[in-house]
């Protein structure tokens, strides 16, 4: 095989052929796997929402465990009683596919002057009602997001956080159970009813989180920016639900 690989014409032809082959290979893989990937993402959302309201497979103090994928659709329709879309004034409209609303797109809409739809899931478990809201923000490297389950006084009943690319062992620990569990019982409003949010705070001298009304949870070591991102997305996104909860309590 004596090809002169130094010729410019050969180089250009090779480059074009390479791009075509690799490009079509990637396009083929992506489009043929798309239905499976979409289905996985849909189930993941349901798992996350259920996790926040405490419907999960957690055992003891082990890792986070979701409802298994084969059961999740059934459990979702069993526990989630209503899926709502809230507007800025707190008015609700039912929407059976509210969980598929892309928060990223809604945030972009609001940024460009449009109106943002706010999904809210009303779940019921053992006689208790949960109001589960999705949140989304920025970590250190990439997006972070989560679901927070509240009662009607905006006290956190459960939380789930996830991330696209935070550093393993540091920022990625927002997906650890000990971090999520810290939020349970924390209050978003102070006693006067003013929205305060929850701050991921360093040096609040309360590592096991005994004080539940200080609007603070203990931060993660080496993950200041990710922690600040969590504080920010809770503050920004959950505040939008305030009108709804005001109406709910009247």
Partner 1 sequence: MGLLSKKDGKLITDPLADNNPITIQVLGICSALAITAELKASLVMGIAVLFVLGIGNVVISLMRNIIPSKIRIIVQLIVVAALVIIVDQVLKAFAYELSKTLSVFVGLIITNCIIMGRFEAFALGNGPWKSFLDGIGNALGYAVILVIVGFFRELLGSGTLFGVPVLGDSIEKTGVYSIGYENNGFMLMPPMALIIVGLIIWVQRSRNKALIED
Least gap, CB of 68 to partner 1 (angstroms)? 11
State whether the Cα torsion 154-157-78-71 is positive or negative: positive
138 or 236: whose CB is closer to partner 1? 138
The pair phi, psi for residue 119, each rounded to 5°, is -75, 145
Q: Which residue, 194 or 208, has its beta carbon nearer to partner 1?
A: 208
Query: Measured between alpha carbons, how far is 173 from 162 in angstroms, rounded to an integer?
Result: 9
Q: Smaller CB distance to partner 1: residue 154 or 172?
A: 172
Residues that bind partner 1 (CB under 8 A): 1, 3, 5-6, 10-11, 14-15, 18-19, 22, 25-26, 29-30, 33, 36-37, 40, 44, 63, 164-170, 172, 207-208, 221-222
Kindly tell me which of 61 and 191 has the beta carbon lying closer to partner 1.
Answer: 61
Task: Name the residue nearer to partner 1 (CB basis): 25 or 88.
Answer: 25
Q: Report d(CA 197, CA 187) in Å as an integer.
A: 8
Find the shortest distance in angstroms from Cβ 43 to partner 1: 8
Distances (CA, A) of 47 to 56, 62, 97, 133, 183: 8, 17, 15, 14, 19
**8 Å CB contact between 121 and 83:** yes
Distance CA 248, CA 250 (A): 6
CB of 224 to partner 1, least distance (A): 11
CB nearer to partner 1: give 127 or 168. 168
What is the smallest separation between the CB atom of 221 and partner 1, expressed in angstroms? 5
- Work out how close the CB of 90 gets to partner 1 at its nearest, in angstroms, rounded to a whole number: 34
Minimum distance, C-beta of residue 177 to partner 1, in the bound complex (Å): 10
CB nearer partner 1, residue 25 or residue 93:
25
Angle at which helices 72-79 and 8-52 cross, to 10°: 40
CA distances from 133 to 16, 21, 150, 161 (A): 48, 44, 8, 12
């Amino acid at each position: 095989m004596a090809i002169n690989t130094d010729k410019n014409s050969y180089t250009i032809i090779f480059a074009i052929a390479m791009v075509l082959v690799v490009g079509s290979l990637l396009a083929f893989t992506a489009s043929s796997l798309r239905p499976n990937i979409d289905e996985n993402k849909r189930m993941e959302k349901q798992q996350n929402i259920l996790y926040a309201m405490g419907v999960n497979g957690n055992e003891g103090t082990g890792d986070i465990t979701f409802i298994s994928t084969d059961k999740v659709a059934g459990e979702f329709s069993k526990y989630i009683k209503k899926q709502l879309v809230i507007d800025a004034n707190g008015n609700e409209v039912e929407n059976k596919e509210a969980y598929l609303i892309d928060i990223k797109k809604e945030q972009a809409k609001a940024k460009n002057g449009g109106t943002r739809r706010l999904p809210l899931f009303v779940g019921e478990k053992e006689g208790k009602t949960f109001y589960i809201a999705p949140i989304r923000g920025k970590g250190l490297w990439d997006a972070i997001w989560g679901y927070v389950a509240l009662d009607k006084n905006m006290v956190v009943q459960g939380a789930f956080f996830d991330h696209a690319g935070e550093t393993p062992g540091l920022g990625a620990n927002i997906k650890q159970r000990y971090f999520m569990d810290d939020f349970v019982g924390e209050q978003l409003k102070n006693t006067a009813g003013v929205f305060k949010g929850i701050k991921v705070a360093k040096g609040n001298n309360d590592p096991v989180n005994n004080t539940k009304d200080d609007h603070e949870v203990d931060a993660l070591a080496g993950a200041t920016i990710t922690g600040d991102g969590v504080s920010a997305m809770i503050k920004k996104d959950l505040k939008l639900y305030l009108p709804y909860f005001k109406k709910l309590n009247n």
